[in-house]
């Protein structure tokens, strides 16, 4: 179990984490929460219906990490290869889609990150500071989505776009200042992969 998730009888997953690993995952999840920001209801707590009727932004975020987490619905090489009129139409469709979906997407990502933090905070650590994290099937799915978001965020900071970019990360020299972020990216990828395997029928 050390370093990777294993299935639990009856569903769910478990992984042994040491004190440093617990601290790293929790810190990354907190940073993700701060990056995503508060929801509309948190900005207007006096109006319980505010979030229900709130519209999201229509423009993509300026931060490259947020752009990776909340991409345009209509984008890519096919859109760019079209005529200027078609590209403008696709941008308008993306803006409309974003306006009605981004708040819900942000809320979901916030809830997943919070689920990670709560489950780590509930751990009872042993004398060496380590613990075994046990997740229900529902918690496993939240963890899987949160791990994906964390890897997308770190990947955006590392300019990882293609699979070949990940291959280059393995060859970074130890003195490269990006090395700790690379190690976290690759480690989270291993956790994510083994968690996917536990959820497969």
Q: pLDDT in tens for each of the 201 residues of the chain?
A: 457 999 999 899 999 999 999 999 999 999 999 999 886 555 455 565 555 556 777 788 889 999 999 988 877 655 556 678 877 888 888 888 888 888 899 999 999 999 999 999 999 877 777 899 999 999 999 999 999 999 999 999 998 887 777 778 888 888 999 999 999 999 999 999 999 999 887
Q: Is 54 exposed, middle or buried (0-12, 13-18, 19+ CB in 10 A)?
A: middle
pLDDT 10s digits, 96-105: 888 888 889 9
Residue 175 CB neighbours (<10 A): 6
């Amino acid at each position: 179990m050390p370093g990777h998730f294993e299935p639990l009888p009856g569903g769910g997953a478990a992984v042994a984490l040491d004190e440093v690993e617990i601290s790293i995952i929790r810190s990354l999840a907190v940073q993700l929460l701060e990056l995503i920001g508060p929801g509309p209801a948190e900005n207007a707590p006096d109006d319980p219906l505010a979030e229900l009727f709130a519209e999201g932004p229509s423009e993509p975020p300026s931060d490259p990490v947020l752009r990776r987490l909340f991409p345009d619905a209509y984008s890519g090489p096919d859109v760019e290869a079209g005529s200027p009129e078609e590209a403008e139409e696709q941008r308008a469709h993306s803006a409309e889609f974003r306006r009605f979906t981004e708040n819900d997407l942000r809320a979901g990502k916030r809830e997943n990150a919070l689920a990670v933090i709560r489950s780590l905070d509930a751990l009872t650590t042993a004398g060496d500071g380590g613990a075994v994290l046990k997740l229900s099937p529902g918690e496993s799915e939240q963890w899987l989505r949160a791990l994906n978001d964390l890897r997308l965020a770190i990947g955006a900071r590392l300019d990882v776009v293609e699979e070949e970019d990940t291959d280059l990360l393995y060859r970074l020299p130890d003195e490269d200042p990006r090395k700790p972020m690379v190690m976290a990216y690759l480690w989270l990828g291993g956790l994510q992969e083994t968690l996917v395997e536990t959820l497969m029928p």
